[in-house]
Structure 1
Amino acid sequence: MTDENSGAPAASRPGVAQRLLALLAAFDTEHRELTLTALARRADLPAATAHRLIGQLTAWGALEQSESGGYRIGLRLWEVATLAPRSSGLRRAALPFMEDLYETTHENVQLAVRDGLDTLYVELISGRSAVVVRTTVGSRWPLHATGVGLVLLAFADPAVQERILAAPLARFTPFTITDPARLRAKLAEVRRADAAVSDRQITDDAVSVAAPIRDAAGSVVAALSLVVPATANPAALVPAVRMGARGCSRALGYLGGGGTVSTE
């Protein structure tokens, strides 16, 4: 038996759930609105199949159609996503400390978790006068290049670290660490310091200072960061970021201490 649309053997074609997920996965921070044709192409589905499944997703509210006729993620899907415990409980615990850090600095304050081999941003506070950042809530960035990513990678399982170190390291600016030996040394320093400084690794006009957030068991479950202009002194910001991260950790039930301050 073959797929009536694609001609592929029935046993090898993806199931309905896989096709629906492929359509949702077609969206990312660079593709927030897509035409039906683009959705079908990015999901690798026949146009007729994509049209039928997009109709089902739209009827449920996972997708919505814009005035221009394109499709974008619907509010129903966002509503369900907010129930994810790793995001909702963390955000509630962290927001008061993020707001304190913002009021003190009026710079970008970011909250992120590790999802596989990526940094996933779950909350962001930014002001009009803050340096422009490329991150948004829901965006993903490589672990090796951002302040929060360095923290999350430094405290990840060794197997995760080795996978990152063995793969090509993407370069975003001339300052991005792309040498595995340098990255390994940097991660060791982050663990000693209980904080990370990412110096102009994503854009050449910004520096990120980050610190780990721990749960009740002491595991690093997230990272808090402050992103400031490259002209700022990151060493002077490390204590404030670490204090904010420790406040978040206490709100999650962590009662332990932290590492020593490093100003590398």
Structure 2
Amino acid sequence: MTDGEGVLERVLRVLGCFSEDEPAITATTLAQHTGLASSTLHRLLATLVAEGLLSRGPGHTYVIGSRLWELGELSPLSLRLRETALPHMVRLYEATGENVHLAVLDGATPEASSALYVGRLTGRQSIPTLSRMGGRNPLHVTGVGKALLADRDEPWLERYFRAPLVRETVHSLTTEAALRADLARARTLGYATTREEMTLGNVSVAAALGRVDGLPPIALGLVVHLERADERRLAPMVVQAAKDLRHDLRKA
């Protein structure tokens, strides 16, 4: 434990252990991850459970509690963005039958930024994707991520390109020159695309909303199977849905 560390820092260290890969964690594992003394950790866990921030799960595990979910739903990303976006996402899904994704740009610095998914609609016929509500994906290999990148200014992009572009598939763009060329194309077209860059067989089409006061940068997109990826048909629908959503958000 770091000298002088406060209770809040300890709480954040504990909560930071939970992830999509580890949604349920034992006290023993939490002790290993946090380095907190057993007595300190157990007192902290008891308080977090009593306050509803954590709950007891099966097999002597802890899981995220309903109170933490309740507080998260008070975020503007839920109350304002997702609630306003839902009718537009439904119309886009009904028109295409494909996965609809709503994402925002999130990160303390450009180098550490990613696409945070705040809305998702899918159906039985939609192709499986790696995205989930509250999940993150890299910017350079996702449609919504590229749309967000294409909307950034040059100083921001210069910092972003300081970090390596990790390859997710054989089709991922992993050089600055290649990605910059793709972003230039996206600015010209008014929407961004990926072709099997995050998941083989998947194609995405996405558009950024532009600036909306009080919210981070936003993008709306579709993910479809390669065989159904009719860009000429899908892109206008995505662009129009993004424009309509931006209009409603600016009124909200």
Could you tell me the TM-score, scaled by structure 2's length?
Answer: 0.91
Structure 2: gaps (5+ residues): 108-112
Cα distance in 1 for partners of 2:20, 2:154 equals: 29
Which residue number in structure 1 is paired with residue 120 of structure 2? 124
What CA distance in whole angstroms lies between the structure 1 residues aligned with 2:60 and 2:158?
45
Amino acid at match of 1:145: V
Contact 1:213–1:245 under 8 Å retained in 2: yes
- Do residues 68 (structure 1) and 59 (structure 2) align? yes
Tell me the residue number matched to 2:110.
Answer: none
Name the stretch that deviates more: 233-242 or 158-167. 158-167
Q: Which residue of 2 aligns with 1:205?
A: 201
TM-score by length of 1: 0.87
CA contact (8 A) 1:212 1:220 kept: no
> 1: distance between equivalents of 2:181 and 2:46?
51
Structure scoring higher RCO (CA < 8 A, sep ≥ 6) equals: 2
Mapping of 1:13-52 within 5 angstroms? 13-52=4-43
Q: Give the match for residue 172 of structure 2.
A: 176
Structure 1 gap segments, 5+ residues each: 1-5, 255-264
Map 1:76-225 → 2, pairs under 5 A: 76-116=67-107, 117-216=113-212, 221-225=217-221
Q: Which amino acid aligns with 1:33?
A: A
Distance 2:35 2:216 in 1: 37
Aligned-residue CA RMSD (Å)? 1.9
How many residue pairs were aligned? 245
Residues 132 and 216 of structure 1: CA distance in aligned 2, closer, same or farther (over 3 Å): closer
Helix, strand or coil: the match of 2:13?
A: helix
> 1:160: Cα distance to partner?
3.2
Q: Is the 8 A contact 2:151 2:210 kept in 1?
A: no
What CA deviation, in whole Å up to 9, does each residue of 1:165-210 have, x standing for no partner? 1211111110111111111122222222221001111110111110
Matching residue of 1:251: 248
| Partner Cα separation in structure 2 for residue 165 and residue 224 of structure 1 | 23
